[in-house]
Structure 1
Amino acid sequence: MQTFRTPPSPSATPVRRRQMLRLAVASAAAASGLPLTTMAQAAADKASYPSKPLRVIVPFAPGGATDVLARGVSDRLGQQLGQPAIVDNRPGAAGLLACDAVAKAAADGHTLTLGTTSTMLSNQFMFKKLSYDPQKDLVPVVRICWAPIVLVTNSQLPARNLQELIAYIGANKGKLSYGSYGIGSQGHLVLASLSNMTGADMSHIAYKGEAPMVQDLVGGQLMMGIGSILSLKQHIDSGKLRAISFTGPSRVPALPDVPTFAELGHKEDAFTISGWLGIAATGGTPAPVLEQLGAEVRKALLTREVNARVLIAGFVPLTDDSPARFQADWKRELPIWKKLLQDAGVQPT
């Protein structure tokens, strides 16, 4: 008896698949106006990524909020991409070490930094000379969350809201001081702007991090400061500190009853701009790789475990960001941060 075998479907053969891929690339190239070779390379970049483990360089020591978020996002990215995403802590030099390592890595999307507004954006205005060009050697990929900060006072200070605080500051010109977690930090810039706005001539006490500042606030050695929810919320909940107002465009879920500066009529850049935590790659990384990374991070942020880490840290998840949006905002914010530093009297070192 003769046996007949059904021939394989043309669409299932390797030759047919390659023909269809070439046809798809050619059609896309024609529609976009890009050269066929460019489109083919873009397709190849996306298809081959990632080809090895990712390295996520964090500019802070293990255990801090940025490190905790980096580990949560990295773990999830590794699961989604099928390659480990390894966190590499490079603290020191105000984040310059971490950014330098990414700036000088291969531009293939396998080396990233997860940092903050200061480490990735405003540092270039804090230092006279960097070993890399932040605007060329780094490329924004996606932001993970907004990082608003909250103005607090010791509960003994006779001011229960921003209006009363501004009146108190105005009545005590030249007598008050405020604390922040470092020269040139967003906290410094916000309260320097408040001092300038009221003509209060307040003194700035720059602490080496939030922990010593919070200790002095709670102890009453410092009456006014600004910092993260993660560091301040327990003392706000206990009544030792009073939350006055938030920076940024909207209220924060962790303290929903605390208004923003903008809500209270103060819409200057210092009060409305928000810090963020985001991911950047090496300059020159192919656009398809950046798009894929951005999509995977957004997907990770929608998972319960990663979203919970963001909220517990006192941040606001940002699930609709993209490389294009991040890059546009990066360029728009550059002159704003530069001017805020100049207005605060911060001199590059």
Structure 2
Amino acid sequence: MSKTCSRRTCLGMLASGTIGLGLGTPARAQTFPGKTIQIVVPFPAGGATDAVARLLAERMAPRLGKAVIVDNKGGAAGVLGTDTVAKAPPDGHTLSVSLTTNLLINQFLFKKLPYNPQRDLALVSQIALAPIVLLVHPGVPARTGPELLRHIAANKGKLSFGSWGNGSAGHLSGAFMSQSQDAGMSHVPYKGEAPMVQDLIGGQVQMAFASAQQAKPFVDAGRLRAIGITGEQRMSVLPNVPTLLEQGLTDDVYRITGWVAMAAPGATPKAVVQRIADEVRAACEQPDVRARITALGFTAVARGPEEFAAAYRKDLPVWERLVKATGATLD
């Protein structure tokens, strides 16, 4: 014990965390980063989320002075990889780069998750917004959102929409569109976007929401028609496609977007969370990084912990309402 403080004073400092003992929060904050940083992506390698994670890992490593590696842990709708991060030591050396579904929506789709995303995960950075594109087969006689809604309403029980999986944003958005017109559209879930898009091109389903990365080549080639995009801003990769909001579809489901984000174990010290968020922002401010994220169909924002938390609170009731309204479940 230091000669400069009394026994009572030092015990008080220990209790408050002012003096770290190696396991305490301040010690973890002061020694970060102390080893290789692992970014867990709860999907197989090769997708857009994986590409964002690897891009950030490459740019963050030199500034942090430690290796940053990406580990793909797919399975169970992203639950396995997310749970790995939730249960990791809260020292900033295990992170997740994931999607809205895994960090927010899954808590409403599963009756029981092995983790509580609002308690067991710390929001680090909302890296990028991820609008989705409403697509139709060229044989559908609609070119705008309102025209499509009228077509759906006039063909009750005759149409189907695809999604890249039960409980996905594409499923929830399509189901809401059907319900809003009392249309009784059939939902066809696929294991991923690629087979969904191929069946949409073939006319097996008439409409679907998809990522810009999947949609753009087929829209450009005229094999699919883009009706509109979700969110409040047009996308740089599809500048001529208006938002659904612009077209008068004002419900929250058309206004909201998914996102790509970084999270850490829930008890990670705030100073460590902020340091990581700062490094994400520094990486996203590099023009080539921003251009690459844009090319993937995202909009780089790199919002820090407080701004991300505010966006999370705003989005949460919308997704909860959608899940309940559609009856979607993954149990």
Q: Same fold (TM over 0.5)?
A: yes
How far apart are 1:63 and its partner, in Å? 0.8
Give 1:1-349 correspondences, 5 Å limit.
38=17, 45-319=28-302, 321-347=303-329, 349=331
**Deviation sequence 1:250-293 (CA, Å, 0-9, x none):** 11111111111211122212111110000000011000111111
For residues 14 and 320 of structure 2, the distance between their equivalents in structure 1, rounded to whole angstroms, comes to: 39
Contact 1:103–1:282 under 8 Å retained in 2? yes
Partner-residue secondary structure (3-state), 1:318: strand
Q: Secondary structure at the match of 2:140?
A: coil
Runs of 5+ unmatched residues, structure 1: 1-33
Q: Structure 1 residue 111: deviation in Å?
A: 0.3
Equivalent pair of 2:41/2:98 in contact (CA under 8 Å): yes
Give the C-alpha shift of residue 180 in structure 1. Answer: 0.9
Partners of 1:166 and 1:331 lie apart in 2 by: 30
1:72 Cα deviation (Å)?
Answer: 0.4
What are the Cα deviations for residues 52-106 of structure 1, in whole angstroms up to 9, with x where unaligned?
1100000111111111111001111111111111100001111111111111111
Query: CA contact under 8 A between 1:182 and 1:188: conserved in structure 2?
Result: yes
Give the superposition deviation at 1:220.
2.1
Superposed displacement of residue 335, structure 1: 2.4
Task: Supply the distance in 2 between the matched residues of 1:322 and 1:37 (Cα, whole angstroms).
Answer: 26
CA deviation after TM superposition for structure 1 residue 47, in Å: 3.8
Cα distance per residue 1:222-247 (max 9 Å; x no partner): 22111101111100000010100111
8 Å contact from structure 2 (residues 146, 249) kept in 1:
no
Q: Kindly state the Cα deviation for residue 162 of structure 1 after the two structures are TM-superposed.
A: 1.5
In the other structure, the counterpart of 2:8 is none
Shift of 1:348: 5.0
Question: Amino acid of the residue matched to residue 130 of structure 1?
Answer: L
Give the Cα–Cα distance (whole angstroms) in 2 for the partners of residues 82 and 37 of structure 1. Answer: 30
CA distance in 2, matches of 1:164, 1:134: 39
Residue 333 (structure 1) shift? 2.3
Secondary structure, counterpart of 1:121 in structure 2: helix
Q: Please, which moves more after superposition, 86-95 or 188-197?
A: 188-197
Question: Which residue type is aligned with residue 242 of structure 1?
Answer: R
Gap regions ≥5 residues in structure 2: 1-12
C-alpha displacement of 1:219: 1.7
TM-aligned CA distance change 1:105 to 1:236, over 3 Å: same
Provide TM-score, normalisation by structure 1.
0.86
d(CA) in 2 for partners of 1:163, 1:334? 27
Instruction: Figure out how many residues of one structure are paired with residues of the other and give that number.
Output: 315
Q: Which amino acid aligns with 1:71?
A: R
Task: Decide whether the 8 Å contact of 1:46 with 1:292 is kept in 2.
Answer: no
Larger Rg: 1
CA–CA separation in structure 1 for the residues paired with 2:125 and 2:32:
17
1:91 aligned counterpart, secondary structure: coil
Distance 1:159 1:35 in 2: 67
In structure 2, C-alpha distance between the alignment counterparts of 1:145 and 1:275, rounded to whole Å: 9
Amino acid corresponding to residue 330 of structure 1 in structure 2: Y
Q: Does structure 1 retain, via aligned residues, the 8 Å contact 2:123–2:262? A: yes
Q: 1:149 & 1:139 partners in 2: Cα distance?
A: 26
Deviation at 1:203, TM superposition (A): 1.1
Contact 1:125–1:348 under 8 Å retained in 2: no
Task: State the one-letter code of the partner of 2:311.
Answer: D
